[in-house]
Each structure stands twice: as C-alpha cells, then as structure tokens.
Amino acid sequence: MLDLSIAAARAALRAREFSAAELTQAHLAAIAALNPRLNAYITVTPEHAQAQAKAADAALARGEHGALTGIPIAIKDLFCTAGVRTTAASRILDPFVPPYESTVSANLRRDGAVMLGKANLDEFAMGSSNMTSAYGPVANPWSRRGDNRPLVPGGSSGGSAAAVAARIAMGATGTDTGGSIRQPASFCGVAGIKPTYGRCSRWGIVAFASSLDQAGPFARTVEDCAILLGSMAGHDAKDSTSADVPVPDFAAACARGVAGLRIGVPQEYRSDGMAPEIEALWQQGIAWLRDAGAEIVDVSLPHTKYALATYYIVAPAEASSNLARYDGVRFGLRTDGEDLVALYENTRAAGFGAEVRRRIMIGTYVLSAGYYDAYYLRAQKLRALILRDFTEAFRTCDALLTPTAPSAAFGQGEKMDDPVTMYLNDVFTVPANLAGIPGLSVPAGLDGQGLPLGLQILGRPFDEETVFAVGATLERAAGFDARPAVCAGA
C-alpha cells in the first residue's frame, strides 16, 4: 500500500480495495517507525489525518471523488495551517499557531487530501542541505553503498523530499526560491516541480523572497506531481501575483510524448568541474529524448554564470525586507530588552539562526543608502539579461534539458566551511527562479555509490504541460525503480 503511486492509490480507493482510514493508518505507523531516524517531519498530526481520512471515506461512500480524496501527504512547514503550529523551522516562530490556512494547502484539502504532518526544512527555506533547521537536520533515506554515514536530503524542502522517498508520504508540498524543490528531489530520487511564477498562490506561505518563491509538489512519479499541481494551482484574489490563467490538465500532458518537440541543450551548463557521472547521465537523457522522437538543438544562455551571484543579491534583499516583520511584538518569540529597540534586537538575535542572520545582513547592506545601485539595481539588470537568454532560447526550442544539481547527496556537515560553497549547489536551478519559468526534476539514474541523480527540464512560462510531457518520457526511458536504504513498504 505504501509503495503505490497516487494515481494507483486513488484508483484503489475508488474501487474500495482499501479505505482511506487504512491508507492513512499505514502511513502514520510508518512515520512512527522511521521519523525518529529521518526527522522528516517537525510535527506529525495523527488526529487531523485520521479525521480527514474518515471524511474521505464518507465522501468515497457517497461516490464523491475529489482529485486527491483520501491521499495522505506531507505539508512543508512553511505553509500556514489553521490550528496547527507552523514554524518555518525557526525558533522565532516556535510558538506560532496560524489562525488561517494557506491557499495551496486549502486547495489540497478541498480536493480531499489528508495531511499527515508538517515537513522539516531549512530555516525560512534558506539552505541547500536542511542543516539550518532549528529542529535538527533531516537524514536522506539513501546512503552510499557500504557506508551508512548520514547524508543530507538537499534543501530547503528536505523533509518533504525525504518523506516521499521513504514512503512515509505519497506526495508533499514544497517551495522553491532557488532550487528548494528540484535539488532535494534529485538528492532523494523523487520527482519535483517548481511551476511558473504565479501558477500557485503564495498566500499563507511564510515569505522568503517574494519575487522568486513558488510552491510546487513532490511525488514518486511525474504523473503524481501533475495530479498534485493540478490541485495546488489556480488564481487567488489574495495574491495579486497569482496568475489568472486556466489550469490545464497537467496529468493528461504526461502521456503526450516528445515526438516533434525541440529540446535545447544549453552549452553553458557544461562546467569543467562537472562530475563525469552527471555528464554521462545528461548525455543519456539527451539520447533517450532523441530516441523518443525529439529533435535536439544546441542553445546558448550566455549569462548563466552570473545567475548565482545575482540570486545572492536579490534573494537576501527581499528576505531582509520580508523578515522585518519578526519583531517579537505581534506573534512569535519575544526576548525582552530594556527598551523597544533592545527588544527587537534581542528577539531577532535569539530567534534567527546563523544563515538567516547572515542573509538578512547581506540584504540590509545591498539595499542600504549608497550601495543600492552598485548591488541591487545591478542585480536586477542581470536578472533581465538572464530572462532575455531564456526568451531567446525558447525561440529555437520547446524545452531545455540540464542536470538538476552538480553533485549527488553529500554528507551531513560537509560544505559547511564557508557559505559560498553551499550556495554553489543551486547553480543549475537558480536561473529558472530568476526568470520565473517552470522546472521539473526527474530521477534518472544512480551514481557509482548508489545515490540518485536527477535531470532537470525547463520550459516556457505557463507551459508546464510540455515540461510534464518531456519529464514523463524521461521517466519511462529511465525506468528508475531503485529504493532507498531507509524505506517503509514492501
């Protein structure tokens, strides 16, 4: 039961082969067994899950079949959930219980999904390893062959990716500001998509960098991601940047195939230091798509090498502004001081972890008087050039194929010596956030140590359908069926 895809579980629930209560109970038992090792969930919500499963069984008995009726999922602990503590993996939100529900999680609930709990993440979604969580690191369910030292699941949505990989959730929500869905998907051997900026409402999601943040799903198949995204997406009057465009049938697009599509291969993603196994997998992906009838074209994205540095101006600038709200006055942690300024300074020093404090300070600096033009304005101009690169490339191709990340999962505690080394994880994923275009990571193979590697498909704005069509084709060709070392189910 735990191994099923969402599509298969949905069919089995509708056929009454098992009940939503049984499916939820099996997941809760698996969480109880595995979460102490993985730390994928910050908060498990068994009472909520059981009540929602019971309601799902009642709906199924009435013949009401929502897109996700009875499907148990994890919600990244960055989405506000009414009456359920929402921490953003930060001490500063430790006592925070939202009185409202984020639009995306409300949409999933509307369609019958069962929330198992709140998934762990890097603090305020700032990180690429889940090591910055105030609730402790997440262990990747995968480990190197013959070596059981714990690896990171990637980040920031590390708990979501680990939960789906270990079969302690059928799907999960994530958010992706610079790669926070796609990189952990690659590290954990699952599929994950960051849709076009504006496809999902950001209302009720704890804000990191508002012009880059976008919600998206994780699942073990591309089709399951399409089913989840279909529920999550849609215009919301409460987020003026959510797009008022129709939500297509993403799941149907998975069966389209790639015959006649032109797939671009950007030469700038071929870095000198790229691991040979990742280069080989990329070439294999190109061959799979060619064999499936796609035409492969070389394209150029000349400003790719500046994307990461651009991101590390834009994202901290927006974060320093967004995180100004955590002042110890209206909600969250308070650490008292002799006056109001001391209260602010003490609260923020005690409540924010080191990486968050660093990014707020970088953001404060690049926005400060005298430095705004040299840093922030220049970064916005670079951002325009990066978008122009993609716009030009999409004149000659329908989608792009790249590796998702420059490496497989690394060990807990590695790459911690200086912040920039960690930032380099996002080199292939950040450009899509800056340009606002959709990106999907699909598990495509294992490296020599038995760790999963993902390939990334990038598409035109609001053309997730082509991205899903390419992703599903790669998935069929790759036939990825390896299982992690720590895994519930058969």
Active site residues: 76, 156, 180
Which DSSP category does 373 fall into? I
Spatial separation of the C-alpha atoms in residues 359 and 69, rounded to whole Å: 40
Minimum distance from CB of 472 to another protein (Å)? 25
Nearest Cα residue to 444 out of 251, 199, 189: 189
Does 321 sit near another protein (CB under 8 A)?
no
Site for another protein in 206-235 (CB under 8 A): 211-212, 214, 235
DSSP β-bridge partners for residue 118: 43, 75
Under 8 Å between Cβ of 415 and 129: yes
Site for another protein in 140-199 (CB under 8 A): 197-198
Minimum distance from CB of 442 to another protein (Å)? 23
Spatial separation of the C-alpha atoms in residues 236 and 104, rounded to whole Å: 10
Q: Among residues 41, 303, 441, 447, which is the contact residue for another protein, using CB under 8 A?
A: 303
Helix (H, G, I), strand (E, B) or coil at 179: coil
Nearest Cα residue to 354 out of 179, 79, 122: 122
Other Cβ atoms less than 10 A from the Cβ of 71: the count is: 31
Q: Among residues 21, 144, 331, 414, which is the contact residue for another protein, using CB under 8 A?
A: 331
Residue number with CB closer to another protein (296 or 343): 343
Helix (H, G, I), strand (E, B) or coil at 128: coil
Under 8 Å between Cβ of 34 and 168: yes
For the window 251-290, what string marks contact with another protein as x by the rule CB under 8 A? ----------------------------------------
Site for another protein in 5-24 (CB under 8 A): none
Q: Among residues 295, 306, 483, 487, which is the contact residue for another protein, using CB under 8 A?
A: 306
Spatial separation of the C-alpha atoms in residues 392 and 448, rounded to whole Å: 37
Residue number with CB closer to another protein (378 or 476): 378
CA distance from start to end of the chain? 8
Spatial separation of the C-alpha atoms in residues 462 and 243, rounded to whole Å: 9
DSSP β-bridge partners for residue 402: 456
Residue number with CB closer to another protein (83 or 448): 83
Site for another protein in 98-117 (CB under 8 A): 99-100
Does 127 sit near another protein (CB under 8 A)?
no
Site for another protein in 338-357 (CB under 8 A): 338-346, 348-349, 352, 357
Minimum distance from CB of 340 to another protein (Å)? 5
Does 243 sit near another protein (CB under 8 A)?
yes
Residue number with CB closer to another protein (32 or 377): 377
Residue number with CB closer to another protein (29 or 349): 349
Q: Among residues 309, 477, 478, 487, which is the contact residue for another protein, using CB under 8 A?
A: 309
Other Cβ atoms less than 10 A from the Cβ of 237: the count is: 10
Site for another protein in 37-96 (CB under 8 A): 95-96
